[in-house]
């Protein structure tokens, strides 16, 4: 059996249980309170959302700087960083673990990435694997390797308040069109047991003669909630869906010393619960119902079992994103 926590740790956990149990009980009370708050906030935001005029873009190029799966010669990580290029500009979406390890910098060098060609940065949500590592998360500060800092001060669009030194930090509060021709859904909320109240924004690109392309960071608000918001923003058909959907069913990424960290911290549920196959099936049914032609899945937060299940059951042409790869979405 694949345990979230190795049995070797169980005796110690029993010893410290008088400390752990009150902490977990307190977290559970906060978790339940946040769930009620999340429903009210998301319902209000979706209700208040209005259609947006979106430019029809002729092309969309996605280069993956950071991902769990990799192209030969590149480094993998349980983090995300995507580079979107259109005729309107270039957008860097998330920065993985930033300077915490050498993955982002290594892959960027190998791809001849020029940070001075980036027009804007968007952070999907303020978790360590998207905003620059554990130190970044602790300090509520977006951090990237020094060599990847652009010379010019570009905007950094955030889903909640945070520091972004060297950038023009701007907190997004509702759906809006960014300078690079890409639309953000604005923040949608989720109550996560371990990580608390979380705000996350997704990106929308309108491709001429195709429809909408939607990309998430982790998809914490759930794809169902994101699609509800997208439908309020635009009545265009959904052409492609990509990014993280957070299904660590049978294993986690970045496990440490016998702890499957994503299955403990990353499910959004209390640690005694797990992500069920029925939830994966429901997400697949939701995606199939909007009939995208293409799906680009992130492996950074979704186990191999779930990735394979997605590939076999989605009706769209489905690919698993790889660091070092460039995708022409057209």
User: Which pLDDT value is given to residue 142?
Assistant: 98
User: Which pLDDT value is given to residue 2?
Assistant: 77
Q: Please check whether residue 62 is in contact with residue 326, taking contact to mean a CB–CB distance below 8 angstroms.
A: yes
Burial 15-51 (b: 16+ CB within 10 A, else e): eeeeeeeeebeeeeeebeebeeebeebbeebbeebee
Half-sphere exposure (Cβ direction) of 255: Cα atoms closer than 13 Å? 16
User: Which pLDDT value is given to residue 256?
Assistant: 82
Dist. CA 151–CA 147, nearest whole Å: 10
The 3-state DSSP composition of the chain as helix, strand, coil percent (nearest 5) reads: 30, 25, 45
User: Which pLDDT value is given to residue 326?
Assistant: 98
User: Which pLDDT value is given to residue 325?
Assistant: 98
The residue ranges of DSSP E strands in 94-219, in sequence order, are: 120-122, 155-158, 168-171, 176-177, 183-184, 188-192, 196-200, 203-207, 211-215
Q: Please check whether residue 51 is in contact with residue 233, taking contact to mean a CB–CB distance below 8 angstroms.
A: yes
User: Which pLDDT value is given to residue 320?
Assistant: 98
The ranges assigned to domains in the chain are 7-329
Q: How far is CA 255 from CA 102, 258, 263, 303, in A?
A: 18, 7, 9, 12
User: Which pLDDT value is given to residue 294?
Assistant: 98
**What's the pTM?**
0.96
Mean pLDDT (10-residue bins), the chain, 330 residues:
83 88 93 95 98 96 98 97 97 98 98 97 98 97 96 97 97 97 98 96 98 98 98 98 96 86 88 94 98 98 97 98 97
Dist. CA 196–CA 190, nearest whole Å: 8
With 0-12 CB in 10 A as exposed, 13-18 as middle and 19+ as buried, what is 167?
A: buried
Q: Which listed CATH number (1.10.10.10, 3.60.15.10, 2.40.160.20, 3.10.150.10) goes with 7-329?
A: 3.60.15.10
Dist. CA 140–CA 162, nearest whole Å: 5
Residues in the chain: 330
DSSP 76: -
Which pairing describes strands 196-200 and 188-192: parallel, antiparallel, or unpaired? antiparallel
**Mapping DSSP to helix (H, G, I), strand (E, B) and coil, where does residue 202 land?**
coil
Both structure tokens of 210: 């195709």
Of 227, 171, 204, the C-alpha closest to 46 is: 227
User: Which pLDDT value is given to residue 13?
Assistant: 86
């Amino acid at each position: 059996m694949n345990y979230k926590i190795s049995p070797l740790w169980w005796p110690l956990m029993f010893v410290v249980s008088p400390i752990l149990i009150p902490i977990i009980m307190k977290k559970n009370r906060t978790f339940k309170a946040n769930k009620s708050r999340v429903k009210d906030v998301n319902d209000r935001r979706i209700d208040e959302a209005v259609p947006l005029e979106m430019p029809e873009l002729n092309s969309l190029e996605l280069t993956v700087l950071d991902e769990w799966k990799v192209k030969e010669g590149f480094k993998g990580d349980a983090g995300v960083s995507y580079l979107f290029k259109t005729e309107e500009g270039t957008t860097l979406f998330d920065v993985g673990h930033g300077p915490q390890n050498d993955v982002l910098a290594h892959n960027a060098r190998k791809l001849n990435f020029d940070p001075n060609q980036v027009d804007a940065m968007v952070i999907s949500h303020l978790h360590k694997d998207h905003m620059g590592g554990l130190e970044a998360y602790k300090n509520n500060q977006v951090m990237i390797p020094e060599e990847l800092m652009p010379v010019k001060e570009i905007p950094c669009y955030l889903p909640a308040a945070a520091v972004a030194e060297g950038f023009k930090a701007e907190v997004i509060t509702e759906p809006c069109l960014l300078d690079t021709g890409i639309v953000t859904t604005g923040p949608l909320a989720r109550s996560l047991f371990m990580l608390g109240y979380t705000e996350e924004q997704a990106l929308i690109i309108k491709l001429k003669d195709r429809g909408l392309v939607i990309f998430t960071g982790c998809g914490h608000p759930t794809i169902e909630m994101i699609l509800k918001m997208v439908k309020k923003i635009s009545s265009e058909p959904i052409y492609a869906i990509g990014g993280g959907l957070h299904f660590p069913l049978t294993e986690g990424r970045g496990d440490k010393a016998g702890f499957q960290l994503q299955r403990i911290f990353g499910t959004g549920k209390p640690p005694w619960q797990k992500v069920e196959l029925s939830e994966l099936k429901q997400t697949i049914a939701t995606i199939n119902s909007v009939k995208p032609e293409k799906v680009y899945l992130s492996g950074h937060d979704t186990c191999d079992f779930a990735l394979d299940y997605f590939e076999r059951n989605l009706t769209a042409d489905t690919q698993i994103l790889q660091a070092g790869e460039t995708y022409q979405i057209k």
